[in-house]
Structure 1
Amino acid sequence: MIDHLTLKVRDIQASIDFYSRALAPLGYVAKAHHEPTIGFGAEDDGAHSDFYLTPSGDGTGSPVTHIAFRADDAAMVDAFYREALAAGGRDNGAPGLRDYHPHYYSAFVLDPDGNNVEAVVDWSGA
């Protein structure tokens, strides 16, 4: 079981601003503030943070990666997509069903460092 994930980012404030807005519709909020690192977690999960941002120190950020956040329904995926774009994210796949299997509804955006960030609801139970 994964406890947490940390992304090294080029511009910590730009990333905090982006993720604070993009993840809000999914119920994710900033929780842990360990300067200069910040942790995000589900609002209903106590003090636990499972997604962290920290400055890279050398201005390069982490190698580009793919991160998927679980949503409860399609409306949450749609709201994530809208807010992520409004926060400066770049479209990498508008909300919709995917061909992975017939019950996979997701949206993709690129964060300020080019990471592929996804919100997904999977009705198949897979």
Structure 2
Amino acid sequence: MFDHVKIGVSDFAASRDFYAKVLAPLGIAIVAEGEPSYGVELCGDGPVSFCLFQATEKPAHLHLAFAAATRAQVDAFHRAALDAGARDNGAPGLRPQYNATYYAAFVIDPDGHNIEAVTHAPAA
């Protein structure tokens, strides 16, 4: 559906470092970077990218869900996020209210956004 998603952040360097660490367990890495006003682009295996740029206005909080291939990746995302300073917003686990194999973890990023890693794969 998306080619890329770009969001403004209040501290570009802190957010760039945060997302580089937090998304690494999902196979997502920085692939391009410009001036903070232009931003940074992070990509995984496919053509879709997630971009950040320095913003002066405070946007409303977002909920972003990143796809994980396995439950182990969701667990690793959660550990990396907490190590990077995120606030826990839901430990890794099944969320049967969504579907029987919905396995996710939630954290709050430096700007207050609710960031999720989720897989729909059954247990290994």
TM-score, structure 1 normalization: 0.89
Structure 1 runs not aligned, ≥5 long: none
Cα deviations by residue, 1:55-97 (Å, 9 ceiling, x for unpaired):
1134x2x310000111111000000000001001110000000
Task: State the 1:35 CA deviation.
Answer: 1.3
2:101 paired residue among 62, 78, 103:
103
Q: What percent of counterpart residues are identical?
A: 49
Task: State the 1:101 CA deviation.
Answer: 1.1
Q: Distance in 1 between matches of 2:51 and 2:18?
A: 13
- Indicate whether 1:38 and 2:36 are aligned: no
The corresponding residue for 1:23 is: 23
The number of residues matched between the two structures is 119
Aligned residue type for 1:23 = L
Which secondary structure does the structure 2 equivalent of 1:108 belong to? strand
Instruction: Give the aligned CA root-mean-square deviation in angstroms.
Output: 1.4
Structure 2 runs not aligned, ≥5 long: none
Q: Distance in 2 between matches of 1:105 and 1:49?
A: 22
Aligned residue type for 1:39 = E
Q: Distance in 1 between matches of 2:71 and 2:106?
A: 13
TM-score, structure 2 normalization: 0.90
The corresponding residue for 2:119 is: 121
Task: State the 1:105 CA deviation.
Answer: 0.1
Q: Contact conserved, 2:71 with 2:121, CA < 8 A, in 1? A: no
Superposed counterparts of 1:46-125, under 5 Å? 48=47, 50-58=49-57, 60=58, 62-98=59-95, 99-123=97-121
